[in-house]
Chains A and B, each alone.
Chain A
Amino acid sequence: MRMARTRCGRAAVAAVAFVAVVHLVSFSSAAWTANAVNSGNALTTGTVTVASTAGTNLFTVTGARPDAAATTLSPPGVGGITTTVSTGSTCVKVTYGGSLPATVRLYATLSNTGADGGLGGHLLFAIDTGTVSSGTGCTNFTSTGYLYGAAGNLYLNGVPGSYAGGLGGWTNAVQNDTRWYRFSWLLPANAASAAQAEQVQATFVWEAQNN
């Protein structure tokens, strides 16, 4: 009788442990290495990865000055803004490479330098997504919607700074999903004189979190 209870208890422990491990594999998605806790039960590896074509530099502009006339930012529906010392646009393809379904959001951390708070408060900025029929730049970019600055009157400083408030719209991303992003900027004609000799460094982050 005591022996029967003991066997029964051990079986229950093993069963519960197995259920717990299966639960962990099913409901968490850490990018961990395969881990077997019970011979005969194979566990899969979950990953969340994201990559872009931008590399470490999205763009670098020096000697920017206000546009001669434009006071609002108006990226074209197709293509990009011809880059000058006053305006420009860059297109980036982002690929989700994780094995687990995820939500990808975009945000930025800014480092402003300047007498009146830095250039980010003077630069108009817009981010839209779209499709690119061929090539890697903005030439064949066709906008499908704005994530930020659709009216052309928002400043770079207003781009969300965390995942929680990040620019989204990319939910349930699955492995090898891609999105094209177009970043456009303009130092408007009415930029204050205080915008001279200022800088801003914006680190754009695409962050994927599993669903």
Chain B
Amino acid sequence: MIDNRTPAPVQGRGLTMIIVVAAVLLLAAPVHAAFTASTTTVASLASDTLDPPTGLSVGSSCAAGRTAPTYRSASSASSGGPSVTVNLPAGTQAGDVLVAMAIGMSNPGEITFTNSTWNLLHQPGNNSQDILGASFWRRATAAEPASHTFQMGDPDPGAVIIAAYSAVDSVTAVDASAGQFNNNLSSAVVPSITTTTAATRLVSGVAVEGPATVAAPTGQTQRRMQTVSGGVLGLADESFATVGASGTRSVSLGSNRYSAGMAVALRGVPTPTVNVSWTATADTYATGYELVRTGGATVTTAISGRNTVAASDTAVSSATSYTYTLRSVYGSWKSTAVAGAVTTC
């Protein structure tokens, strides 16, 4: 009986102790449940899209004005005959115009073309004075030979200078030309020519019997001088702005000599204008446009005003392809682009 009853008080005390300990723990480390509540509200923001201009049109016109051809480089050679081979001027590009000035000593009529691609302009000379000048031109091709050989009729001394010019009119390269023999004068005279367009490049060739050097005609820039046994050859040029007679150019020789003077006026390229027009962006808050020209150097132009719907570009080269890209602008925002291409005249 006792054995059966004894455990009860022990179990009761144990349970009491457990509960007391639990209560103490609860009091010592109180539960701190974080009860929360919240309220929410939503802000929705969406930005606009700046509309691009539409209806972009890009065209080219060449109504007026030309740009004078530009000298690129020159090369020269001489020989005792019967031919002279001259390297192509450095940097020659397809489309450049090559001008050749030649001098032949001894028997006149001894300078001739080696092929039909060179165009003879003038051969001033004198049979009895053993000197001949000559002027030629041709347009460089994409497969331009590395050199050109000028054949002379006899194995006599000769020299040739070739000068390359860029930005020459693609239709009519030579606007005017002339040549004259100067019979024992103290100056080598280059004849006057009458140009029909403005902004030409006036190229002069002077072939002189006797001296070792020759200066450029007054007002011109010497591009090349080539000596030859018994004479000297010079090539010079200048930009000639006006239409009409160029007047003569001359070189003082110090004493009377026989010489030949040749003049060639290269016609400049038309000054093209690219005209760009469009329909205004539909977004009335646009402040203007950004026009970017690519092809050659990239040029960016800011155009003010949403209602400005046209622009012209005169800083372009003839016969060149360009792409124009147009965007609407509002402050730092730019729209997507519209683009158009053109090849100038």
Residue ranges of A at the interface with B (Cβ–Cβ < 8 Å) = 2, 5-6, 8-9, 12-13, 16-17, 19-20, 23-24, 26-31, 46-52, 54-66, 68, 85, 90, 92, 94, 98, 100, 119, 122-123, 163, 183, 185, 187, 189-193, 195-210
- Complex CA distance for A92 and B16, rounded to whole angstroms: 56
Given contact pairs A19-B26, A63-B46, A58 touches B8 in the complex (Cβ within 8 A): no
Given contact pairs A52-B39, A193-B334, A208-B37, A23 touches B30 in the complex (Cβ within 8 A): yes
Which residues of A are found within 8 Å of B332, using beta-carbon distances?
A: 66, 189-193
Given contact pairs A20-B26, A27-B31, A31-B35, A65 touches B46 in the complex (Cβ within 8 A): no
Closest B residue to A63 using CB positions: B48
Which residues of B are found within 8 Å of A20, using beta-carbon distances?
A: 22-23, 26
- Complex CA distance for A24 and B46, rounded to whole angstroms: 49
Which residues of A are found within 8 Å of B13, using beta-carbon distances?
A: 5, 9
Do A59 and B43 touch (CB < 8 A)?
A: yes
Which residues of A are found within 8 Å of B142, using beta-carbon distances?
A: none
The answer to whether the Cβ of B147 comes within 8 Å of any Cβ in the partner chain is no
- Complex CA distance for A38 and B101, rounded to whole angstroms: 127
Given contacts A13-B16, A50-B37, A59-B45, 9 further A-B contacts (CB under 8 A): A27-B32, A63-B48, A189-B331, A193-B334, A197-B48, A199-B44, A202-B42, A207-B36, A209-B36
The answer to whether the Cβ of B172 comes within 8 Å of any Cβ in the partner chain is no
- Distance from B46 Cβ to chain A, minimum over Cβ atoms (Å): 4
The answer to whether the Cβ of B116 comes within 8 Å of any Cβ in the partner chain is no
Do A98 and B37 touch (CB < 8 A)?
A: yes
The answer to whether the Cβ of B254 comes within 8 Å of any Cβ in the partner chain is no
Do B333 and A65 touch (CB < 8 A)?
A: yes
Do B44 and A23 touch (CB < 8 A)?
A: no
Do A196 and B47 touch (CB < 8 A)?
A: yes
Which residues of A are found within 8 Å of B255, using beta-carbon distances?
A: none
The answer to whether the Cβ of B115 comes within 8 Å of any Cβ in the partner chain is no
- Distance from B123 Cβ to chain A, minimum over Cβ atoms (Å): 66
A20, A123, A187, most chain B CB atoms within 10 A: A20
- Distance from B341 Cβ to chain A, minimum over Cβ atoms (Å): 24
- Distance from A53 Cβ to chain B, minimum over Cβ atoms (Å): 9
Do A207 and B38 touch (CB < 8 A)?
A: yes
- Complex CA distance for A96 and B46, rounded to whole angstroms: 32
- Distance from A182 Cβ to chain B, minimum over Cβ atoms (Å): 13
- Complex CA distance for A120 and B50, rounded to whole angstroms: 19
Q: Give the residue of A55, A90, A123, A193 whose beta carbon is less than 8 angstroms from that of B333.
A: A193
